[in-house]
Amino acid sequence: MTQATSQQAARVAELLERASSAVVLTGAGVSVPSGIPDFRTPGKGLWEKVDPMKVAHIDVFRRDPDRFWHFYGDRFATLDDKEPNRAHEAIAELEARGLIRGVITQNIDRLHRKAGSENVIEVHGSIEWSVCLECGAKTGIEQVLEKLRAGVRTPECETCVRALKPDVVLFGELLPEDAMAQAFALASEADLMLAVGSSLEVYPVASLPGITRENGGRLVLITQGRTPYDREADVKLSGDVVEELDAVLAALR
C-alpha cells in the first residue's frame, strides 16, 4: 500500500471516529472476494452471460416459472455455500465497535448477517426465504434446495400448490417499502456514509449517498471503478475492498 493510500485510509478512520451516526451501503463488489460474481463487470458479470429480462423478470416468473427456476435454482445453489470474506467481517467489526449504525445492502446473499452484522437492511431482499404470492407462506432456502436436488423443476407452496417466488426483488418489481423507508431514514440521519463495492448506478438505492450529502453528511467511497459521486466524496479508496477495509481498521485507534 502506498503512503498516499495509507493516508487516505487513516482519513477514513478519522471520519468514522468523529461520526455519531455513520452507516455503510454495500453493493455486489463486497461479495466478489467470496466468489460471487458481480452483475456488470465486462467478461465476468452475471448479466454478461444471460439476459436478465428473460430469466429474472417478474413477468417470466408469472408466465413460465419452470424457466425462471431453471436459472434461479442454479443461482440459489451457488450462493448457499458461500462464506463471508474479510470485507464483510470488517464491516461487522465496525458495527460491533459502535462506529456504524447499520448496513444497507443491495446484496441478497445473507453474507453480512453470516459475518455478524446485526442491523442489516436488505433492500433487494434475501435468498433466505421463498414466498407464496397466493397465501404469503414462507419456505426456507434449505427446503427449497432439497426440492430442487430431488428433481423438482419448480418448488411449490405446500398449502396452495402454487410456484414459490424467491423473496428477492426481481426486474419489474418495486423495492420493499419497509426496507426502503428504513434505508432512507438511515441515510438522511447519517453524518457519514461509507459506500462499499457499489457502482451507485441503480436507483433508488443510488440516491442514498445524495440524501446523506444533502443533509450535511460526509461520503466515503470504497469501490473500484467510477461512480456518479466521485467528485462529491470526501475520500475515495479504489483498491481491493478487503485490503482497503483492513487498512481502515488498522488505522483506527
Active site residues: 124
**Beta bridge pairs of residue 237:** 222
113 contacts 86 by C-beta, under 8 angstroms: no
Q: Where are the alpha helices (DSSP H) in the chain?
A: 3-18, 46-49, 52-55, 58-63, 65-80, 86-96, 111-115, 141-149, 177-189, 208-214, 241-251
Query: Which three cell numbers mark 35?
Result: 466468489
Query: In this structure, what DSSP letter does residue 17 have?
Result: H
User: If you ran DSSP here, which 8-state letter would residue 128 be given?
Assistant: E
Helix (H) or strand (E) segment spanning residue 90: helix 86-96
CB 87 within 8 Å of CB 197: yes
Q: Whole-angstrom Cα distance, residue 128 to residue 141?
A: 5
